[in-house]
Amino acid sequence: LKVKNAEKRTYDLVKAVIVNEMAMDYPGYVVDEIKCYRNALKSKRSNIKKLYDEILSVIENHITSFSTLPRIKELEPSSMFAHAFQKEKHKVMAKKQDLNKEDSLAFKIATHIPLKAGVGSFHYNDYNNSGYSEPSYLHEYSSSYSLPRRYIMDNVGYDIRLAQFRCVKKDTV
Using alpha carbons, select from 68, 29, 72, 30 the residue that is nearest to residue 52: 30
Q: What is the pLDDT of residues 49-67, one digit of tens each?
A: 999 999 999 999 998 988 8
Domain coordinates of the chain in residue numbers?
6-68
CB count, 10 Å around CB of 87?
9
pLDDT for the residue 56: 96
**Antiparallel, parallel or unpaired: β 120-121 and 131-132:** unpaired
pLDDT for the residue 132: 79
Asked whether the predicted pLDDT for residue 159 surpasses 80, the reply is: yes
The model's pTM: 0.57
- Alpha-carbon distances, residue 5 vs 11, 12, 70, 171, 172 (angstroms): 10, 12, 44, 23, 24
pLDDT band at 115 (very low <50, low <70, confident <90, very high): low
Q: What is the pLDDT of residues 91-109, one digit of tens each?
A: 999 998 888 888 887 777 7
Asked whether the predicted pLDDT for residue 173 surpasses 60, the reply is: no
